[in-house]
Amino acid sequence: MLLKFFASSLLSLFLVDRLLQHDVAAVEADVDITYVQLFQSGVEAYRADKWAMCINYFSRAMDDYKFYRQQITSCRRKCHAEGATASYISNVTDVENRFFEMGVKHTLCLVNCRKAHFRGRPNTYTADVDEAFEKLVPYDYLQMCYYKSGAIDQALTAAFTFLHANPGHENMQHNVDFYLKEKGAAQQDLKNREVKPYQELFFKGVQAIDAKNYQAAMDFMERSLEEYISAEEDCRVMCEGSFDQDGMQPDMYIAVANHMTYALKCRRRCHIRLQTFDGYIASTTLFSRYYFYLEEAYAGLDQTEEACHAAESYLLFNPTDEKMLKTKGELKNLPDAQEEWFTPKPEAVTYHQREKTETALLEYIEKEFGVLVKQNAEDKAQRLKLDGSPSSPSAPVDKKASAKHDDGNAQDASKTGKEDQAF
């Protein structure tokens, strides 16, 4: 039987971890209402032209999803950390029992964490809806609902926020331009409501580099790199949820391998998700790009040793980059340069080794099993031609309120005809 692609981490294979609790700030009466239900209610309100209700539901859904994601990543990271220092009954050479014991203890940790943070949140997990939130699809709906309510400022902010998570989206770019014209605002006045710390720091670092303010550039880039590593770890642990085995009831090891493969492929998409923002799509991985800028900042501050480490870190991922190879040669010719400085940073080595190992494992699976089964969410996205709309059957269709592209009005971004860009 072919391995099914994508799945949860090795240690959370034994847990049904889809139960989480609503935002602690929510009123007690709403304790059983999750972002999935709020999302679905928002879609219904949108279809019924109930714009105020649409805004209310989608705004609450975004708040609840953020809380859900924050808590689930916190629990999973906590349990991974505890597992690394736990004591075990099984002998380290007893691989099978050690693996099982690790899974059991990891499960216990997750269950206890859930009990500590969540009060019986109902199990409403839907992979397609989660994917929609990751792509900020609620802002697609919100921009139209705000527009129909006459709130141009909020419509512009929502459209701009969606566009920055989905650069190149033609309909939403049209809407942003339309709202700007209606409001009489300039592009630089716009704000992204969902900007991440690493993104904001990254652009500040680039601006500091351009201004040759190397001290500020170093500070911003180092902090941004730390935030990026944390954001990628959050993304990776979010790959540890359940997945649909299409009704199969496979043997234990087949089920484990299916789930691990699912998670592994999901994790390999994290760096693509994280490096696409604010219209910026790095030609190299964003992680390695940090060292490109850090080398320049360190060199500008005459921190030769750090510049050498940064150059080697960048070359670890981009060994044929002519510009950095030339820079490395110039660093070697500096009178204070020492050969032992030309080694990559430890975190770069760890990241690169993990990348190599995971890529090699996926290539092995592809070779040995012949066919890679695509992730369910990707399959559904291809069939439904989503292009930024919710990956659920409840996506709006044939919305009469949507204007044609050529009439100068704002458009429903859910109907572009493009295929969704799966990560």
Instruction: Write out the two tokens for 343.
Output: 């080694």
Same domain, 249 and 360: yes
Number of helices (H), then strands (E), belonging to the chain: the values are: 16, 2
pLDDT value of residue 23 = 35
Same domain, 305 and 252: yes
> Under a CB-based contact definition with an 8 Å cutoff, are residues 317 and 345 in contact?
no
Domain membership of residue 1 (yes or no) is no
Same domain, 238 and 363: yes
pLDDT value of residue 370 = 61
Dihedral over alpha carbons 376, 143, 224, 234 (to 10 degrees)? -30
Dihedral over alpha carbons 360, 362, 368, 370 (to 10 degrees)? -130
Same domain, 325 and 187: no
Nearest to 343 by CA among 311, 321, 320: 311
Same domain, 235 and 357: yes
Same domain, 221 and 323: yes
Domain membership of residue 308 (yes or no) is yes
Q: Which of 100, 124, 148 is the last residue of a domain?
A: 124
CA distances from 67 to 58, 351, 359 (A): 14, 28, 32
pLDDT (tens digit, 0 to 9) for every residue of the chain, 423 residues total? Answer: 333 333 333 333 232 233 223 333 333 335 578 999 999 999 999 999 999 999 999 999 999 999 999 999 999 999 999 888 888 888 878 888 988 898 899 999 998 998 888 877 776 677 789 889 999 999 999 999 999 999 999 999 999 999 988 888 999 999 999 999 888 777 777 889 999 999 999 999 999 999 999 999 999 999 999 999 999 999 999 999 887 777 677 788 888 888 898 899 999 999 988 987 765 555 568 999 999 999 999 999 999 999 999 999 999 999 999 999 999 999 999 999 999 999 999 999 999 999 999 999 999 988 887 654 555 445 555 554 444 443 333 333 334 333 333 345 566 544 433 333 222
CA-based radius of gyration for the chain: 24
Name beta bridge partners: 276: 281
Residues, the chain: 423
pTM for the whole thing?
Answer: 0.77
> CA angle, 412 as apex, 406 and 413 as ends, to 5°?
100
Same domain, 88 and 156: no
Domain membership of residue 258 (yes or no) is yes
Nearest to 369 by CA among 256, 218, 257: 257
Same domain, 68 and 213: no
> Under a CB-based contact definition with an 8 Å cutoff, are residues 393 and 40 in contact?
no
Q: Which of 345, 369, 393 is the last residue of a domain?
A: 369
**Using CA atoms, how far apart are residues 131 and 121, in angstroms rounded to an integer?**
20
Domain membership of residue 253 (yes or no) is yes
Same domain, 351 and 322: yes
Task: Provide the number of structural domains found in the chain.
Answer: 3
- Domain span at residue 305 reads 197-369
Helix axes 137-148, 170-183, angle to 10 degrees: 40
Instruction: Write out the two tokens for 278.
Output: 């604010």
Domain membership of residue 129 (yes or no) is no
Same domain, 208 and 264: yes
**Using CA atoms, how far apart are residues 344 and 248, in angstroms rounded to an integer?**
45
> Under a CB-based contact definition with an 8 Å cutoff, are residues 47 and 303 in contact?
no
Instruction: Write out the two tokens for 333.
Output: 């010719």
Domain membership of residue 338 (yes or no) is yes
Nearest to 314 by CA among 233, 225, 213, 200: 225
Same domain, 353 and 406: no
**Using CA atoms, how far apart are residues 411 and 170, in angstroms rounded to an integer?**
10
Same domain, 203 and 279: yes
**Using CA atoms, how far apart are residues 423 and 401, in angstroms rounded to an integer?**
31
> CA angle, 38 as apex, 37 and 43 as ends, to 5°?
95
Domain membership of residue 269 (yes or no) is yes
Instruction: Write out the two tokens for 423.
Output: 């990560």
Domain membership of residue 9 (yes or no) is no
Which long-range contacts link 94-100 to residues 24+ away (Cβ below 8 Å)?
99/10
